[in-house]
């Protein structure tokens, strides 16, 4: 499997010409990989595990993976399956829900920035500060409750938020954080199918919320917001991946391939010890060998 060929059609580093309609949620690029998808994903997971181990040992880079999507697009499943082989010590997952009172007393990026991964670790944001240009944009009433001074809430607020997000990501990238952003693009038809499956399966009832159906009524508004986000915040140092997600096996392969590709570009290796450390190592070995 050619990793670059798999991810290239979905990676956006310059969003100026991006159109969400160019991405078919059911697309698998004519792939014949479905029958091999479990085996291929297992190989990717194994490869990712080795790269993550070197990332952790080298302790220079950090990696931030951001996942955004409509409900039932498969964010949890992608995170679970793709990161299944990663050492828990080197990975952290943060899910962002409705802001708390404490979070509303800070700027909108505060709660996300305080959860950034340390060097050597992979941080995963299940939703993120991008919600502030998605759900908040679709539901203006939320913005009204964010305690912003009225004179700052202008017609340019979304443009300003895009600028702030881009500036933050540029800063992070210049300080050793690799940023990959994934929009799991599911179709409205497939979302309906998954919602019904949740309703029909008692073990999945807990995943469903009545609010999920009401949000579907704003589907077009959300698609317009997602397109605008991707158009305005894609960059070479913080690319978006618009991943077709009607076929779960395909979206998982694409996400895993994108993470592997990024890690392979970091020249990761295990730290090498210097001569004094080699002598200490030899002395320690000698002591152990002479123990009774």
The token duo for 177 is 């954080």
Q: What value does the mean pLDDT of the chain take?
A: 94
Q: Is 227 left (phi over 0), alpha (psi -120 to 50) or beta?
A: alpha
37-58 helix and 75-82 helix, angle to the nearest 10 degrees: 70
Q: How many CB atoms lie within 10 A of CB 176?
A: 12
**Lowest pLDDT segment from 3-7, 134-138, 244-248:** 3-7
pLDDT at 1: 63
Question: Could you report the per-residue pLDDT of 91-130, keeping only the tens digit for each?
Answer: 999 999 999 999 999 999 999 999 999 999 999 999 999 9
Mean pLDDT of 225-231: 98
Work out the pLDDT band at 204, boundaries 50, 70, 90. confident
CA distance 47 to 260: 7
φ, ψ (nearest 5 deg) of residue 93: -115, 130
* Burial of 229 from C-beta contacts in 10 A (0-12 / 13-18 / 19+): buried
State mean pLDDT over 3-13. 92
Rounded mean pLDDT, 254-263: 97
Percent of the chain's residues with pLDDT above 90: 80
Specify whether the backbone of 127 is left (phi greater than 0), alpha (psi in -120 to 50) or beta.
left
Q: Which residue has the tokens 């979206």?
A: 251
Higher pLDDT, 30 or 259: 259
Token couple for 250: 């395909």
């Amino acid at each position: 499997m050619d990793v670059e060929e798999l991810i290239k059609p979905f990676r956006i580093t310059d969003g100026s010409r991006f159109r969400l309609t160019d991405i078919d949620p059911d697309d698998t690029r004519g792939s014949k990989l479905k029958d091999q998808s479990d085996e291929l994903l297992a190989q990717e997971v194994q490869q990712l595990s080795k790269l993550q181990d070197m990332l952790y040992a080298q302790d220079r880079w950090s990696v931030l993976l951001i996942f955004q999507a409509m409900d039932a697009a498969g964010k949890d499943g992608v995170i679970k399956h793709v990161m299944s082989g990663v050492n828990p010590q080197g990975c952290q997952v943060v899910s962002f829900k409705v802001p708390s009172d404490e979070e509303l007393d800070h700027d909108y990026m505060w709660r996300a920035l305080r959860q950034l991964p340390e060097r050597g670790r992979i941080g995963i944001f299940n939703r993120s500060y991008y919600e502030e240009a998605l759900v908040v944009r679709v539901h203006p009433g939320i913005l009204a409750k964010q305690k912003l001074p009225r004179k700052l809430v202008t017609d340019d607020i979304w443009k300003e938020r895009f600028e702030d997000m881009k500036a933050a990501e540029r800063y992070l990238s210049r300080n050793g954080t690799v940023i990959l952003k994934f929009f799991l693009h599911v179709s409205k038809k497939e979302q309906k199918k998954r919602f019904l499956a949740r309703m029909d399966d008692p073990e999945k009832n807990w995943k469903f919320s009545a609010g999920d159906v009401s949000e579907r009524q704003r589907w077009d508004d959300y698609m317009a917001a997602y397109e605008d986000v991707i158009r305005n915040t894609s960059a070479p140092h913080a690319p978006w991946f618009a991943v077709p997600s009607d076929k779960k096996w395909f979206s998982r392969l694409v996400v895993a391939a994108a993470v592997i590709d990024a890690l392979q570009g970091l020249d990761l290796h295990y730290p090498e010890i210097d001569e004094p450390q080699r002598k200490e190592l030899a002395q320690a070995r000698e002591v152990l060998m002479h123990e009774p």
